[in-house]
Amino acid sequence: MSESEAILQFFEYGHLKPELQKPSAMFGDLAMWIVRSLSRNPERTVALRKLLEAKDCAVRAAIYKEQGK
């Protein structure tokens, strides 16, 4: 991710285990689209932050283990 937007560093996924790369990559691709397609403004920043939060939740969901099982 080469765009000059600091938050994009948190959408990188090459360091993740293969089974976590796919869900993370989809969010990273959308983050890049947002940065490339929308002008920089407060709403774009909020969109990226909320997307990052959603990505983190999706990755945690992928590794979630039921308690007691």
Predicted structure pTM score: 0.86
Are the beta carbons of 55 and 27 closer than 8 angstroms?
Answer: yes
**How far is 38 from 14, CA to CA, in rounded Å?**
25
pLDDT tens profile 20-57? 999 999 999 999 999 999 999 999 999 999 999 999 99
Give the pLDDT score at 69. Answer: 66
Give the pLDDT score at 2. Answer: 47
How many angstroms from the chain centroid is the CA of residue 55?
4
Give the pLDDT score at 3. Answer: 54
Residue spans of the domains in the chain: they are 13-62
Is residue 1 pLDDT above 60, yes or no? no
